[in-house]
Amino acid sequence: MQHQVMGYDRSATMFSPDGHLLQVEYAEKTVRLGTASIGINCADGVIIVADKGKKDSLIISESADKIYEIDNHIMSSAAGIVSDARVLINHIRLIAQQHRVTYDYPIDIESTIKEISDIQQQYTQHPGVRPFGVALIVGGVENKRSRLYTSDITGNYFEYTAIAIGENDEKIKEILRKEYKKDMKVEEAVKLSFKIFKSVLGDKFDADRFNVAYIKSEDGKFKKMSKDEIKKHV
């Protein structure tokens, strides 16, 4: 509160005396207000299970997807301000297509998360703009090897075996640390994700509020589960 009174939170580029960028920390809180997504790197591919949240019954559910195809071998999900995520996703889709046209070869997964993270970092360093209020999971397959990354508000990115972003992320990660296994297959990882969401959401759990997508190492192709497939796994 003292830092607010002194104006250290008025700009994303102003450090407080104890070394904090307050606008960046506020944006991190925004991410934790968003519905959660879980990403798991499996023995035979990579999966993302995303909670869309409870939407107005008048909204067509397919228009509120939380998992995005970047290229046919890369997918992403976001937590926080989804409109911020859309700008980053559209940018990296363009980069991925330009890479294919230029080099006649699909872009590698780390290049996509690095490009996203570079943009997020730039928006913490320039006056007159605000940080992107979103964190992203990026997963994919290259050379038959699955990879999973996340970026955060500050522009950092890391590779993970399993990760969660959004609401209750710390609670979800604690369960993942206990129950994740390196030899886990895609089907098992989807079931584990739903088990975790049931534990976290309790009475609010509803299969209709989830998106599930996966990319298997054998073919490296993005696939999204239908509602019927999701209900079978639940």
CATH number of 158's domain: 3.60.20.10
pLDDT for position 5: 44
pLDDT for position 167: 94
Model confidence at 110: pLDDT above 80:
yes
- Measure the CA–CA gap between 10 and 128, rounded to whole angstroms: 10
Percent of the chain topping pLDDT 70 = 97
**What is the overall mean pLDDT for the chain?**
92
**What is the number of structural domains in the chain?**
1
Neighbouring residues of 102: CB distance < 8 A, sequence distance ≥ 6? none
Model confidence at 1: pLDDT above 60:
no
Q: Could you report the per-residue pLDDT of 185-222, keeping only the tens digit for each?
A: 999 999 999 999 999 999 999 988 999 999 999 999 99
Model confidence at 35: pLDDT above 80:
yes
Q: Assign 2 a pLDDT band (cuts: 50, 70, 90).
A: low
pLDDT for position 186: 95
Domain hosting residue 88, numbered range: 2-233
Residue owning tokens 């943009």: 119
Q: Could you report the per-residue pLDDT of 38-70, keeping only the tens digit for each?
A: 999 999 999 999 999 887 778 887 778 899 999
